[in-house]
Structure formats: structure tokens, C-alpha cells
Structure 1
Amino acid sequence: MAILDDLRRLEEDITATGGAVSGELIIGASTIPGAYILPKIAAAFKNEFPAISFEIRINDSARIVEEVAGNGLLIGIVGAKLPGVKLNYQHFAEDQLILAAAAANQTLSQITMEELCQLPFIVRERGSGTRKSLEMLLARQRYTLDQFNICATLGSSAAVKEAIKADLGVSVISKHAVLDELERGTIREIEVTGWSMMRSFFVVTSPKRTLPHHYQVFLNRLLSP
């Protein structure tokens, strides 16, 4: 009830100010959109509406979805849908996943799936949207992670990047996360024959909640072409 009371007060405040776009936006996001996409959108929105402030909470996709379902967040941005949770998922953006290796790694620039299964492989933790997307992409090729030579399970994209650069193994990671490293040449991309690795990001909201005005304006901006 406390959250509902807060929302009513927010709506009353907005009515009193003639619908002005102001207030704090608390947005949940999984690692890639939260660290590499959302800050730029927030900056542009803040430039247009100076009375807005942001809190961006970053966690894995599963946790963000749980927070939206449990009314802890009004808007989340995630890289995977969770089955069994009745929420609204709206397409937000496309993301390219790549197979990344250290610059010094001796693996060929193009390999087959069979060859990939033999390489030391780094994965994200369970609950990660990147891991969920990887599992779905592998399933289309009739593979599972059980067939891979997993050398490490890590809890963030930053940790995966550092492990790749240290040549602990190779990993599938969002291209957004390694753009700087690709440009500097500390990480390189390996092509996997016949495997296109694209996924979607989604904006997730609860069908049971009515968004305050400033949240609705921001949501419209997120979903605009």
C-alpha cells in the first residue's frame, strides 16, 4: 500500500504542476543496457527535461524481472524474458553478441561450432541475460553449454572482459561491452561459421501498474523509433 500511496502523491504533484515532466526515475537494467546503452538515453532525456533525475539499478535480468513483478521497480530493461512471470515485454533494441578472444590468442579468425566446443570457454552466471540468450542461440544449433569446455563462470561483463584479455579463455559477449577493446586491439572477434548471434533487449513493465506521468513520458521515449 505504501507504494500505491506514493504513486498517488506523485500523480497529484504532476496534476498540480500542469503535467510538467519532473521527478526521479528509478530504472532497473541488466548489465549491458544498464552500463552501455541507458546512460546515453538518460543524458539526452535529462537535457530535454532538466527537472528529471535518474537512479539506474543494475542487476542480472532475472533479478530485474523479479523486481518489476514484485513492484520494486516500475520499469526494467533486460536481455531475456523469464517464463511464468506475467509482465509486459516490449522490444527495445537489438544487440549483437560476438565470440571474443584475447589479441594474443592463437585461435583462427574463423572456426566451426565443433572447434568452439574444444576451446576454454568463459560463461556468465545463471540469471544473466547474456547467458540465457547464449543458451537459446545454442539450442537453435542443437548444442548446449554441457558440450563446452567451460573454464570459468563469472558474475559480470567487466569480469568476463578482463578474463578474455588475460587469455583465460574465449567468451560470447555483447559487442557493446567490448567496443573500446576492439578498437584498441586488446580483444579480437572470432567468427563462428554459420552462427548469427543477435538478440533483443526488452522494456519490462507490470500490467497491474499505472505509470506516473514522468515514467510514462520516459517509457514513450524508450520505445519511440
Structure 2
Amino acid sequence: MYKTEGIILRNTGVKDKDVILTILTKDFGKKNIYVRSYLDPKTKYFGRLEVPSHIEFMFIKRKNSTYLLTGLEQIRGFCDMFYNPYLYTLFSIGSEVTLKMLPYEERNELIYKWFKWFLYFLNSKKMEEYLAVYLIRFLYLSGFFPIKNRCGKCGKKNPLYFTVSGLEIFCIDCVKDGKRFYPSYVLEYIKRMFEKDFLKKIQFKGIKEVIDFLILFIEEIVEEKILSYRVLATVGK
């Protein structure tokens, strides 16, 4: 039997009343946990395993190499997010990126720490900034950052405008057709995220451009769209 804490990223129905939870755990990375009869109102788990929830739980490994939930204590639920579509969509972006990029059962306690930080601080006036910080930290801890702040073709440093393609940075003079360009302060903002006491300095008017760039960068890596980010444009604050 194993015991750990985690945050529920996805709840998928299977069979009659059973579900499979995808949980980002502190000690075991991202795991799929099978829950029997969760959708039965009489079960002890009913209503306590919604997305997102921060839980402490126990599970066992079955003979077929799957995992079964055996015990649960809810640390905190975040059902209030359902009443704020914009807030929930921001969470969904961070969750979708984590689901698509983090390999199963790859333990990374720092990624877990930053995702928990993102979840707990998301309901604030700087919610977009907290999403950007999490995405930057996730990319860094996953080995995809730092990004070179110079053109990958001509070597020009700190281009006034730049684009990303194939996980490389190009200035506007080297790549002109069919690309989305960003001002250089987007890279400067990302760089500041690694400075000491950066949390006290979060104040950035172009935060949507930063998130837009980060999502584009991530989509280059996973080679598919981050669908929840497309939803964000249709949801008002």
C-alpha cells in the first residue's frame, strides 16, 4: 500500500459508476488511479474527487499493474472555481499542459510544488501572472528553458521582435512569412521570473502576450493545440 498527497487533474468515467483519476502526486509523479463506484451517491468517495481537488490518499497496485484507491482525505476542494469560468479556464490551461507534457510516473517534486502553488494562488487579482509563472517554471524544470535571447540564425541579441519555431528564437529579419511575432520584453519578463523575490515584482501589462508566447512554445513541443487556451478567448472575466 502507498500513501501520498496529490492534485486531481482529470476525472474520467469508465464502466458503470467507476472512474479513473489522473493525479499529480508529490511522491510518484503523474498517476492514473482507479476508483470503484465513485458515481454511486452511497459511496464514501462521492463528491470528494472533483477536478481540481487537493487530497491525501492511499492506493494499492493490482495484479494487472493498475492502481486502486483505498483511502482518502480531502485537504481542500476548489469547487468555487466552477462559478468563475475564466478562473477555471486558466486552471485548465495549466492542467492541460501538465497532462500533455509530464510523462507518467516521472517523479518531480518541484513541479508538484509549483503546481500546488499555482492552484492555491490562482484566485487572486494577478491570476494571469500566476499562470505565466507556473508555465515558465514547468518548462524550466522539464528541461526546455532557458531560451536563448538571440536570433538562432544571425545571432542578433535581444531582437526588437522575435518569433519561435522549432524551439528556436528568430528575429524579424530572418523569419518574415506566416509567423506570429512578439516584442522583446516578453523574453525579458520570462528572464525576470528567475530573479530573487520575483513574486514581489509581478506587475506586467503585456501578460497576455507572454502567455500567448508560452502556449505557442509549448505547442511546438507537444505538436498539438492546447485546447483550453482557445476557450479562454471566449470566456469573460
Please report the TM-score for the alignment, with normalisation by the length of structure 2.
0.22
The structure where helix makes up a greater share of residues is 1
TM-score w.r.t. the length of structure 1 is: 0.22
Structure number with higher relative contact order (C-alpha < 8 Å, ≥ 6 residues apart): 1
